[in-house]
Amino acid sequence: MTQNSTNPNLDPEDWDQVKKIGYEMIDLLVEYHKSVAERPVWQPTPQDVKDMLQEPVPEKGSSLREVFEEFKTIILPYPTGNIHPRFWGWVHGTGTTTGALFELLAATMNPNTGGREHVANYVERQVVAWSREMLSFDPNASGLLTSGCSMANLTGLAVARHVKSEGKVRSDGLIQNGSKFTVYGSDQLHSSIQKAAEVLGLGATALRIIPSNDRYQIDLDFLKNAIISDIEEGFVPFAVVGNAGSVNTGAIDDFEGIANICTQYELWFHIDGAFGAFAKLLPEYEGAMQGLELADSIAFDMHKWMYMPYEIGCILVKHPDAHRAAFTLRPEYLSQEVRGLASFDKWPTEYGVELSRGFRALKAWMSIKEHGVAKYREVLLKNVHQARYLESLIEKTDQFEVLAPVSLNVVCFRYNPGNLSEKELEEFNTELLLRVQESGIAVFSSTSVKGKYALRVANTNQRSTYSDFDLLLSTLIEFSGLIASS
């Protein structure tokens, strides 16, 4: 009779076998990353694999060997592709090989970082402190690691709503306090801001979209006039969202200008720095990022332009008491003790909506320890220079055009021979996008720039080389010629 039959549990019956297969998994991880450039960037998931992934829940288990072999056969070959050096779609980070190992260690410890007195919460506090330091933000600001920037944006705006309602929204809701709240951002805002407005009960119509200027920054005159108009009509402006690297073009708003308006009208200043906040580390962006420290809150990801494995975002809030007051709720079963496991002061769950939280901080702590800020600075700058390099390649062609200034690491462009209508250009460039993706040579995505369909390369890829962009352009020229002649 086995141990598991007398005392059922999920631990291995053969620890040596688990160790052997675990070493194989580590070998696979290293080789998979080492050889990534030799594989297609992306390939579609075959129908037979999709069918296998619709089987009913198994009643009886399989051996670890069988499960691992099935993973290698039907899951591993069909990823998003974002670890590949020629993946520049949307804004997907690449992760790192050691980052994957750090995730293994975090799962090995498997702590719940919602609270309690254990080391993981001190690790998170140090990562938050390092984030403040890297962004030159208020050293007394509170912070919380989140699943990503969408949750970080929601958290920041929730604090803003709490402050503007003088704390009454938590008890009385929006009907009594804040049903006419309004929040402002440019036409380059990420959709997570609208989602945040909806989830917070403000509704999409409470989000005032302000036109951007020719540099894709929020137009400050339009912003000020919109605030004045809303006040006159009985609305309650409560926050402005600035972009530190807008999702479409990578534009950076005028933070000092926004901060001045927020001060004048007593509005909360929130910055969405999803991928662009870490440009603050680069000396050549000192001017562009001036004023970031004036924000009341800033949201950003580490799984994008810090190249860490998904998922890890962060919110920093300049007003710790307001941050905590917006979320804290300590029922009896979460009471704090003066000693013991429940003695930790100011639990992370008091600063956000999650109670159960994984050990996100470990991969950040170990990654920053391993690489140091200087190495991150080098790779960030490489990505910026590669974006400019691609811009220069495009500008040398006759059939492609750049559609927006390359202010950071995003290049928006399109095929345009000069004799097609806007509808025809959209159809042509869509086909070009799909053919390149389906070829497995490279992945980029699309967007709209001032109403024009654009191909979009967002370079948050630590593995990309300059030759990858040479190959991209030659592929674009080849495929556009094939489409034009078909």
Helices (H) and strands (E) in the chain, counts: 15, 11
β-strand pairing of 297-301 with 207-210? unpaired
Contacts of 295 (CB under 8 A, 6+ apart): 137, 242, 255, 259, 269, 270, 271, 318
Domain ranges of the chain: 3-77, 111-358, 372-485
pLDDT at residue 152, rounded to an integer: 98
242 and 216 in contact (C-beta within 8 Å)? no
Instruction: With beta carbons less than 8 A apart as the criterion, state whether 412 and 402 touch.
Output: yes
H helix or E strand, kind and range, residue 120 = helix 119-134
By the 10 Å C-beta count (0-12 exposed, 13-18 middle, 19+ buried), 418 is classed as exposed
Pairs from 333-336 (Cβ < 8 Å, separation ≥ 24): 334/115
Region 111-358: CATH code: 3.40.640.10
pLDDT in tens, 431-462: 999 999 999 999 999 999 999 999 999 999 99
Give pTM, 2 decimals.
0.96
Name the token pair of 126.
Answer: 């140090």
Give first-to-last CA distance, the chain, whole Å.
70
| Triad 257, 260, 263: Cα angle to 5° | 150
Q: How far apart are the C-alpha atoms of 365 and 369, rounded to whole Å?
A: 6
Backbone angles phi, psi at 415, to 5 degrees: -75, 130
Q: What is the pLDDT of residue 355?
A: 94
pLDDT value, residue 333: 87
**Residues with pLDDT less than 70, the chain:** 1-5, 176-178
Helices (H), 272-360: 320-325
**pLDDT above 90 as % of the chain:** 94
Question: Which CATH number among 3.90.1150.170, 2.60.40.420, 1.10.30.50, 3.40.50.80 corresponds to the domain 372-485?
Answer: 3.90.1150.170
Q: What would the pLDDT profile of 258-267 be if each residue is shown by its tens digit? A: 999 999 999 9
- Distance from C-alpha of 236 to C-alpha of 227, rounded to nearest angstrom: 9
How much is the pLDDT for 1?
41
* Residue 469 and residue 393 in contact, taking contact as beta carbons nearer than 8 Å: yes
Candidate CATH numbers 3.40.50, 1.10.287, 1.20.1340, 1.10.8; the one for domain 3-77: 1.20.1340
What is the pairing mode between strands 313-317 and 142-146? antiparallel
Residue-wise pLDDT tens digits, 259-291: 999 999 999 999 999 999 999 999 999 999 999
Angle of helix 255-265 relative to helix 220-232, nearest 10 degrees, comes to 20
